[in-house]
Structures are given as structure tokens and as C-alpha cells.
Amino acid sequence: MSASKIFLYLCVSFIFGIFVASFVNLPSAVYAVLFIFGLIFLYLHRESPKYLILGLCVLILCAGVFSYKLRIKKTENLLPEKKIEFTGIITREPDVRIDKVNLIVKNKRIGKVLVTSDLPNKFDYGDKLKIKGKIKIPNVYPHFNYRGYLAKDGIYYVMYYPKIVLLEKDKGNFIYKEILHFKNKLRESIKKFISSPYNLILGAIILGDKRRIPQEWKNKLNITGLRHITAISGMHIIILSEILMFILIWVGFYRQQAFYFTVIFIFLFVIMIGFPASAVRAGIMGFLLLFAQKIGRLRSATRALVFSGAIMLGVNPLLLKYDIGFQLSFLAVLGIIYLCPVFSVLFKRIPNFKIFPLRSIMSMTLSAQVFTLPILIYNFGYISYISIVSNILIVAILPYIMGFGIAFSLFGIASNFLGWLVSFPCWILLVYMVKIIDIFSKLPFSWQKDIHISWILIPFAYAIIFYITWFLNKKYKEQILLSDDVLL
């Protein structure tokens, strides 16, 4: 057995251990027995190398369980809810909403606190504040564990509209502050050349400002099944990587030089948009795939996906249970890896033009939606019946929107004329996209909401999806191997 395959098994074991600890409440004695069995298998490794691999997998599984339980234990024994006064530093970019602003403030004694304040926002990253108000433990609702959702980000307390006094400025990391300063310049440039709601949607697509989109347009994006284009994901990272690689090679860089610049750009971009799970996963996976291409050993997308998942869960084991975006991101990529080739074969009569790859868009959209549908329905209670058509009409132009959007926002910082000139084609594409979203969201029977399903049905739904995917891959194996479609 190759070393890469053994490493894959170890990563899967670690992820499975976190999965079991997250969703199954087993007694600690069960894990103790498993740990003992792992040691026994290691002791028997002289009889067969398989015992060594099995023992390591069992021990790594136990490590996954332990890492989750260690992290979730921090949500216990919290401070009582009472009025307090403390000082702290804003550790992230302020989250500006339509009617309020959320600040993540860190105090050495009590940790991170999510502070909700009134608009206008007069605070920045790195500000040292004195805060006086009632500290509260986040609620656990029947269908949403808000406490766990915040705990995944290391936040265990909330405060609503306390009294805030600015003590000092510029107490944060200088590099991160400059990155956020540059991001704000891009945001202002977009706002200067593109009117609302186009600038808000573009800001979400290229800057990760999805929370600034008005609720009306969030609903329209949900109805049309296009909400994913406003959440930075693997699709966005891949598009940005391809655009940058093309530009760098076109201006004269060698491919290896372009690779290093692209990796640095992805890293800085993920920092700038605030480390969302989907973008972090995409950034890690994108780096692995770019590195594999650089050294001429293109590994399977599945291994890159599993490895990136193991890294993220090693850093934060709560992501698997409490970050729906993390779940959807991985499931969408799994669907694209295993189901998209099948749809490409089934849709082989549909043209796949270079400028408008209709077959590829249909295959990727449908495969991602099949794999994410049970989680979407369970968590959000709705299904869009027009999402395939709306995605076909929008996804193909997304690279051009991102390319022109980044270009004019950069040019606009230096020159009003260049910013206006390059913003014009981006504005045309945004008008087209917004019109499609608006028209399709008003169609009768375009979606169904208030769908409630039990969590018990989720494992059965995915068992059926995985079986059908396996069966179709086996049935169309030869045709898939002969297919010219490149997915990743």
C-alpha cells in the first residue's frame, strides 16, 4: 500500500472520529475500548503490516474524538449572565449590517465577546474599547444552536447594545490592518462606480460582503438558487486563480513564477475576506492542486479535498457540526468530483462551447445540488425548482464579472477615468444578472418553502445518493474515461 493511500486513510479516520463525536453521544468507555484495541493492533504489527495501519487509524479516530470533546468542553462552566465592565481589542473587521454592526472584542480574561452596536459604525479593527453592559451566553434554539455556531469561532459570550468608549487605536496586527484598509479602498471604489444593488452583489462576489446585501435580494437569490454566488467558495477561488495565472503568463512570467504569485494572492485574498470555511477549504485545495500541477504529479481531487478537510478540522473540530457552509462546500465538491462526470456523459448531446460551456455548467450545477439538497432542505426548509436554469444563465458569466470587477475596482483607486471605463462592461453584466434574478424570483411555483424533515432522514438520503452515484459511475465507467470534460 502506497504512503499516500495510508495518509488518506489516516485523514479519513480523523474526520470520522470528529463526525462520531459531533453527532453520536457515546459513553467515554466506548472510546477507551477503541483506544486499547488500537494499541493491540499496533502491538500485532509484526504479524502483518495491515495491523499497523489499522491500529494507527483507530488511534487517529480516537484523536479526532478527543479533539472535538476538548474544544466543546470550553462551552461549559461559563461566566454567569450579569452586568460587567471590561476592556478589549476588536480582533476582526466590523461586521456592518443594514441596521447594526457586530464587533468581535477579545479580553484576556473572558476571551472573545460578540458585541452588537448601533450604526453608524465608528470603530475599526485594532481599536481598544471599554465596554459596559450585560454579558450573556448565546441561546440554543430548537432548530439552531447559536451557542455552538459562535463557539466554532471561539466566541462564548454576547452583549447587546452596551455602552462603548474608545480608549486607543491601532492595537491590532499591522499587516492585517493594511489588508483591511486595502479592502475598504476596493469597497469604496466599487461603490463609486456602480450603483445599488449592483455594487452590493459585486461586493459579495469579490470581497465576501454577503451580509451587506438587503434581505429582499437575499430572498430573491434563495428563490433562484443563486445564493451560492455571493458566498466565496471553491468556484470563486478557482476562477481567481485561473484569471491571475493567465494574466501573469501573458505578461511574461514563467509558469513557476506565476504559481508562487498566485499562491500568495490566494492566501492574502482568504485573509481579506475573513477566513470563511468555504474559502479556506478552497484555498487549501487550490494550493494542493496548483502544487501538484507544478511538480507534474496531479493527485486526485478526492485526496486534496480530504486533506484540506483534515487540516481545517484539526484546527477547529467544531466546523463539521456547526458550520453549514463547511458542510455544503464539501458536499458540493464531492458531487462535482463523482457525479459531474456521469452527467457529462448523460448530457453529451448538449453543446459545450468554449465561451459558453453549457454542458459543463449543467453537469456541475446539477451534481452539486443533488449532493447538497438534503442539508439545504433540513437547515433552511426550502427548495428552488428553477435553480438549474438560473445557474446556467448566470454561472457562465461569473468569471467575467469577477475579472472586470476586480480590474475596475483596482483601476478606480488610481484613476476615475480608468475605473469608469473598465466598470462599464462589468455594469452591463451585473444588470443582466440582476434582471435574471429579479424575473425568475417572481415566477409562480419557482420554489417551495416551509419544508420540514427529520434529521433521521438525512443519513438515509445520503446513503441513497451515494449508492446511485456509485452505480452510475460503474455503469458509465468506460464513457467517463473517454470523456474530454475536465472538471478540476
Q: Strand 155-160 and strand 111-117: pairing?
A: parallel
* 155/211 same-domain check: no
One domain for residues 193 and 142: no
Q: Would you state the cell numbers that stand for residue 473, as one nine-digit string?
A: 459511475
Question: Taking the CB of residue 473, how many other CB atoms lie within 10 A of it?
Answer: 15
Mean pLDDT of all residues in the chain? 86
Residues 6+ away with beta carbon under 8 Å from 400: 425, 429
51/91 same-domain check = no
| pLDDT at 488 exceeding the cut of 50 | no
Q: Coil, strand, or helix at residue 122?
A: coil
Q: Tell me, what DSSP letter sits at residue 66?
A: H
Q: Is the predicted pLDDT of residue 197 greater than 80, yes or no?
A: yes
Q: Band the pLDDT of 49: cuts 50, 70, 90.
A: confident
Q: From CA 429, how far away is CA 58, in angstroms rounded? A: 52
Is residue 488 one of the residues assigned to a domain?
Answer: no
163-168 and 111-117 beta bridge pairing: unpaired
| Residue 487 counted as domain residue | no
Residues 291, 303: Cα–Cα separation, whole Å: 13
Report how far residue 249's alpha carbon sits from residue 256's, in angstroms, rounded to the nearest whole number: 10
In the predicted structure, residue 294 carries a pLDDT above the cut 70: no
- 319 and 442 fall within a common domain: yes
pLDDT value of position 430: 96
The predicted structure's pLDDT at residue 358: 76
Q: Is residue 67 part of a domain?
A: yes
Average pLDDT over residues 359-363: 82
Residue 436 pLDDT greater than 90, yes or no? yes
| Residue of 208, 266, 258, 264 lying closest to 237 (CA atoms) | 266
Of 43, 75, 107, at which residue does a domain stop? Answer: 75
pLDDT at position 168 is: 93
Average of per-residue pLDDT across 116-123: 84
Question: What is the share, in percent, of the chain residues with pLDDT greater than 90?
Answer: 42
Q: Could you give the number of structural domains in the chain?
A: 3
Range of the domain at 154: 82-172
Q: Is 20 helix (H, G, I), strand (E, B) or coil?
A: helix
Q: DSSP secondary-structure letter at 231? A: S
Long-range contacts of 448-451 (CB under 8 A, 24+ apart): 448/382, 448/383, 448/385, 449/381, 449/382, 450/381, 450/382, 451/377, 451/381, 451/382, 451/383
pTM: 0.81
Same domain for 203 and 268: yes
Residues 50 and 119 in one domain: no
Final residue belonging to a domain, choices 40, 75, 110: 75
Q: What is the pLDDT of residue 281?
A: 66
Give the residue, 46 or 145, on which the prediction is more confident: 145
Q: Find which of 121-135, 141-155, 354-368 is predicted with most confidence, using mean pLDDT.
A: 121-135
Residue 245: the pLDDT is 81
